[in-house]
Each structure stands twice: as structure tokens, then as C-alpha cells.
């Protein structure tokens, strides 16, 4: 009986020839990640347990992104605590105002994740790096503290679901639409503590940004992680960023999966997740009666340069509909710079959008776009639980950048292919 991609990575990192689903292991870590919300809790645990050194100052990353630039005194104190810890232990990958970005866009961009690596982060969307063929997963702040001190973490080896992709995405359809379709199909607990493993000829039509968006939202199906086969696009992305040796793992032909799905990408349409769960999906074309108060384009799911380009192409020469607030948040400083270079910023501002420095901001109801009672948002974020973006009576519809931008112009949810 063979192993899946995830199982091979875990076996390699715990020094075993083979692991099986359900097995408890202790594995070596390639990166431990935290942000301005979760790192302070981990630092408190680190100090409570009298740890006086980190396992490797080059393998810890702290990204100040949730409430940064700081929204209030509490946020400022949390960031100060992280800043002090990073200085004390000479944490090489500490990112603050001016050079930070939304962590799950910044980490791959900086080359801190590579194929075959094992990464933990005190944020549920750490599973993003599976797009690179890494095993990455979210953990609690206590595990982050132990990981920073020892370079190890315990895992229960997950079983897996295999998704074989065929065909290719049509114009106006993206990886965000695909992952929303999949979550709608299997449900928010359809992959509970399992690995979602993506393979097949259809991968060639998915950009790296498509894959990042999909791996990012594996947690929204309850998955332990999402992971993609490594191909030429993966290697092209990694080369020049992750300047170190890494290993590529492929699933054995006789690997065991709990379930297998074959998905024809030609059949995927622009898809929206309605309140209040990511599984509550419908084609965008069926939601023309939904009139939002706010549109948000950004986040760790869809704030990369291809997302900005998509929005700019739709917004160019147009105006945001009256009574709609459109907020655009490039995910990193590099993405921000590229938006300036390509003229996207001028397009956004001329269209009537507000443009923010990189921040998680409104995604978690932090700041930079909080919803009032009964307001509706269409957002390229990853979660739409009750009260996620503000008032408990507000509603969030999850969508791709194309759907979000087209909606901002039309004044109601629309299939972007109608305006492309």
C-alpha cells in the first residue's frame, strides 16, 4: 500500500520509511509562522515555559498583517510584543509596516516555502503553501510556541481525498470559482482532518495564483491541508525565490484515498458562496437580485497581482455603482508596486475605489471596511460566517475578483462574462 503526497512529506520529516493514516508522529519543521494576533499568545507560552532560545532564527517568520498598521492601542501593544521578541531572538523573517504583506501571500513571494517542506502556522489559512507541493497546516499558538523552541510538532497523519482535474478553465473563471464549487459539492466538513490532493491534466490551466487560492481555502472544507502536484509552473515560481535544495514528492500509484473526484474544469462557472457558509454556493448568474453595500477585493486568498489585473481590466473606464463602496487591498508591497507600474492604481481610483496598504483588515472584521447592521458585502475573502466582517446581521458573499469587480460596476451580483 503506497503513500499520498502528504504522507510522503510527513514520513520524510519524522525519519520513517512509511506512515499511515491515523498514526501519531513527531516531525521536524521547516518553517514556523505567526502573525500579530497569534504570535503574542505563542510568545506568552514560550516565556511561561522558560524557553530561552529558538531552534533556528532563520526558520521562524512573524508577519504583522491582521491589524497593521495598528488600528488601536491593543493592536499596537501586540505588535510591540512581537517586535521585541523578534529583536531579542534575531528573527530573520520579521515583517512589519513598510515591508510586510498579508502573510499567506508574502511567505511564498519571499521564497519561505518550497516543495516538500513542512510548515506550520498559527493561522488557519497556512494551508496555502500546499500550492507549492508543501505540507502546510494551521496550528494553535501553543504548538507555535513549542515549534519555535524545539523545531518539532506532533501530527496525526491524515487520510486523503484525491481530486483529478481535467479540461481547462474558461474565460472569466478562476481557481476561486473552482474551490467554491468543490466546497459546495463536498461541504464544509467534507474533508474533515483529511488532505485534499489535486492532480490531473487540468492543472496546466491553473496559474500559481489559482492554486494558492484553492489551497488557501482547503480549510473551509475542514481539511488538514490542501496540496498540488508539483509541475513546471511550480518550479518556475519557486526558482529564484526559494534558493535552497528541496524535494518533490509524488503520490504512489497505489496510494489509498478515502474518496476520489474527477472534475472537468470546462464545466465550472463563476460561483458565489452565499451567507453564512462557504458551502452555500450558487452560480453568480443566479444571484442578480443581490445588491451589496460594499465590495472588497484583496485578502490572502485573492490579493495577488493576477487578481489586481483581473479587477483592473473590468473596472477600466468604468465607475463603481452609486451607493457601493469598493475597497481594494493589494496583498503585499510588491503587488502594490506592480499595480502602480501597470497603471492599475489609477484605474482603481478613477473608478471610485478606495485602495489600502496591505492588511487583512476587513476579512476578519478587523478594520478598513467593517459592515453595519444588515449591510451586504461581496468579497474575495475566504470565510463568510455570521458577523465575520462586522455586525451580526450583516451578510458576506464570497466571490472571485472577476465577480467582485463586475458586481461593483453593475451594482448587483453579476456573472463577469457579461462584462468581459
Q: The CATH number of the domain where 244 resides is what?
A: 3.30.499.10
Q: What is the pLDDT of residue 206?
A: 97
pTM: 0.96
pLDDT band, very low/low/confident/very high, at 418 (cuts 50, 70, 90): confident
**Interval 5-41: pLDDT, tens:** 999 999 999 999 999 999 999 999 999 999 999 999 9
Q: Which of 264, 290, 312 is the last residue of a domain?
A: 264
Q: Which of 288, 306, 289 is nearest to 297 (CA)?
A: 306
| pLDDT(419) > 90 | no
What's the pLDDT tens digit per position in 58-96? 999 999 999 999 999 999 999 999 999 999 999 999 999
Last residue of a domain, one of 237, 264, 291: 264
Order the strands of the 395-398 sheet from edge to edge: 281-283, 271-273, 395-398, 376-379, 294-297, 325-328, 354-355
In the predicted model, is pLDDT for residue 420 greater than 80?
A: no
- The answer to whether the bond into 276 is cis (omega within 30° of 0) is yes
Residue 20's alpha-carbon distances to 152, 155, 162, 248, 333, in angstroms, are 19, 12, 16, 19, 41
Indicate the number of domains in the chain. 2
Indicate if the pLDDT at residue 352 is higher than 90: yes
Q: Which of 202, 237, 264 is the last residue of a domain?
A: 264
**Predicted pLDDT at 165:** 98
Same domain, residue pair 254 and 324: no
Say if residue 200 is in the same domain as residue 283: no
- The whole-number average pLDDT for the span 123-130 is 97
pLDDT value at position 77? Answer: 97
Amino acid at each position: 500500500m503506497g503513500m499520498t503526497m502528504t504522507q510522503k512529506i510527513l514520513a520524510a520529516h519524522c525519519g520513517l520509511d512509511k506512515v499511515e493514516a491515523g498514526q501519531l508522529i513527531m516531525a521536524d519543521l521547516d518553517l514556523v509562522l505567526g502573525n500579530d494576533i497569534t504570535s503574542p499568545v505563542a510568545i506568552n507560552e514560550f516565556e511561561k515555559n522558560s524557553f530561552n532560545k529558538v531552534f533556528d532564527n532563520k526558520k521562524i517568520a512573524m508577519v504583522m498583517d491582521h491589524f497593521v498598521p495598528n488600528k488601536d492601542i491593543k493592536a499596537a501593544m501586540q505588535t510591540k510584543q512581537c517586535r521585541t521578541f523578534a529583536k531579542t531572538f534575531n528573527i530573520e523573517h520579521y515583517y512589519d509596516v513598510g515591508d510586510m504583506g498579508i502573510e499567506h501571500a508574502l511567505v511564498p513571494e519571499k521564497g519561505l516555502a518550497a516543495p516538500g517542506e513542512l510548515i506550520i502556522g498559527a493561522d488557519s489559512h497556512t494551508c496555502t503553501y500546499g500550492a507549492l507541493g508543501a505540507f502546510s497546516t494551521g496550528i494553535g499558538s501553543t504548538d507555535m510556541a513549542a515549534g519555535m523552541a524545539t523545531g518539532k510538532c506532533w501530527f496525526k497523519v491524515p487520510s486523503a481525498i484525491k481530486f483529478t482535474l481535467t479540461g481547462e478553465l474558461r474565460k472569466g473563471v478562476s481557481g476561486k470559482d473552482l474551490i467554491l464549487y468543490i466546497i459546495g459539492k463536498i461541504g464544509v466538513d467534507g474533508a474533515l482532518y483529511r488532505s485534499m490532493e489535486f492532480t490531473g491534466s487540468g492543472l496546466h490551466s491553473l496559474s500559481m495564483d489559482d492554486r494558492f487560492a484553492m489551497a488557501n481555502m482547503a480549510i473551509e472544507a475542514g481539511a488538514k491541508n490542501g496540496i498540488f502536484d508539483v509541475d513546471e509552473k511550480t518550479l518556475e515560481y519557486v526558482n529564484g525565490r526559494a534558493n535552497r535544495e528541496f524535494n518533490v514528492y509524488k503520490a504512489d500509484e497505489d496510494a489509498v484515498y478515502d474518496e476520489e473526484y474527477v472534475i472537468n474544469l470546462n464545466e465550472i462557472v463563476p460561483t458565489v458562496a452565499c451567507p453564512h457558509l462557504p458551502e452555500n454556493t450558487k452560480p453568480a448568474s443566479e444571484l442578480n437580485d443581490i445588491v451589496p453595500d460594499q465590495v472588497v477585493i484583496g485578502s490572502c486568498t485573492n490579493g495577488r497581482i493576477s487578481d489586481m489585473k483581473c479587477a483592473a481590466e473590468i473596472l477600466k473606464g468604468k465607475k463603481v455603482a452609486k451607493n457601493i463602496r469598493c475597497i481594494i487591498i493589494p496583498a503585499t508591497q510588491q503587488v502594490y508596486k506592480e499595480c502602480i507600474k501597470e497603471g492599475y492604481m489609477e484605474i482603481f481610483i478613477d473608478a471610485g475605489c478606495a485602495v489600502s496598504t496591505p492588511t487583512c483588515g476587513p476579512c476578519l472584521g478587523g478594520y478598513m471596511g467593517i459592515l453595519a447592521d444588515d449591510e451586504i458585502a461581496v468579497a474575495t475573502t475566504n470565510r463568510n460566517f455570521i458577523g465575520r466582517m462586522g455586525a451580526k446581521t450583516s451578510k458576506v458573499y464570497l466571490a472571485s475578483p472577476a465577480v467582485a469587480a463586475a458586481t461593483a460596476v453593475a451594482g448587483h451580483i453579476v456573472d463577469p462574462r457579461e462584462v468581459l
